[in-house]
Amino acid sequence: MEESEIKKGLMGVTVDVTQISKVMPEINKLTYRGYTVNDLCDKCDFEETAYLLLNGNLPTTTQLQEFTDAEKANRNISKELKEAILNFPKASHPMDGLRTAISILGQEDDRVWDNTEGTNYNKFVMMYAKIPTIIAAIQRCKEGKEIIDPDETLTRTDNFFNMCFGKVPEPIIVKAFNVSQILYAEHSFNASTFTARVIASTTSDIYSAVTGAIGALKGPLHGGANEQVMHTLIEIAEPKHAAAWLDNAFKNKLKVMGFGHRVYKNGDSRVPEMKRWENKVADVKDGKKWMEISNILEDKMVSEKGIYPNLDFPAGPAYYMMGFEIEMFTPIFVMSRITGWAAHVIEQTNSNRLIRPLSFYEGEGIRTVTLVEKR
């Protein structure tokens, strides 16, 4: 093999087949199990989308009821996990806390080595139900506030807001949050999903796969970008500074967070949908300034560099305007992406072959240890 044949970053390499989602950059569409995400955002709740991703079809009324009942029944976390969360270093990032908490869930599960599809589905339901409880608890502990236990009478999203803030917001905020969760749920073989599949391919367990995926998602080139977008907007502070800020970024060849994508080179199919809801959030949460700065950045990036915003660009500021701390944005992404990861772990397990690529060695040739070197 020639070094020139290497696809750095696996750019353009197809590594396996999947039935879960299809990214179609040429027509700017993304489908989950054949449905466009736009159709799902218009007509479905996040819970229905989660069910679809895991089960292949949208649920009947009875199936949805069973799924939401199971989610509600699994929201509570053990007192040992709560204790661990109370002892997490206050300055640590909630993604690190969440990664540790998922490891603890694995340690608490005596079926950890059982990778049969039914058991992995049950483990998914557990994680899907407990992740909102875990991240709300982590954030409240960081702020020195009492943990609020889950409330079974509330929907998944209402309950999450209640555990974070002690109240449920207006319906338009809940809908915008649900749209963001639908859009964040799945995106084929992105870095974190591929990480989960690599771990699953060793026949390790789903908790390990999700723990690894969280580590991958945390990076600013992947899910962590939604936090960086808001840091950028805060640094710019006023619309009148936006153009000059961007010129300086161009001059210094800085990456502008929330822009660019490995697959979409002519725009991210999820952005218009999220932007529509971000605007609605801005209207009710006095966020006009953030929209103005965002619009200047977007227009200039597209016209001068031909680089389009990705989903993190509207999602991060939307979460900020909803009242979340910036370091909660990527954990909130996990609340949704757990669905895609679990679907991929199950798919990988069902048609498994160890993922183990090759590398092109360019280090030293064979040499012999000499006594001089050892001294």
Strand partners, 309: 259
CA distance 327 to 168: 21
Which CB sits closer to ligand COA, 43 or 255? 255
Helices 239-251 and 288-300: crossing angle in degrees, nearest 10, is 30
User: Any idea which residues carry the catalytic annotation?
Assistant: 261, 312
Binding site for ligand COA (CB under 6 A): 9, 221-222, 225, 255-262, 307, 310, 312
Asked if 210 and 102 count as a contact pair (C-beta separation under 8 A), the reply is: yes
Pair of tokens at residue 294: 């965002």
Q: Which residues pair with 30 in a beta bridge?
A: 23
Exposure letters 292-306 (e unless 16+ CB within 10 A, then b): ebbebbbebbeeeee
Q: Which two tokens stand for residue 157?
A: 């999203």
Residue 319 in contact with residue 126, Cβ under 8 Å?
A: no
Task: Retrieve residue 95's tokens.
Answer: 């993604």
Q: Which is nearer to ligand COA, 51 or 308 (CB)?
A: 308
Smaller CB distance to ligand COA: residue 59 or 224?
224
Task: Give the E-state strand segments of the chain in sequence order.
Answer: 21-24, 29-32, 35-36
Nearer to ligand COA, 93 or 262 (CB): 262
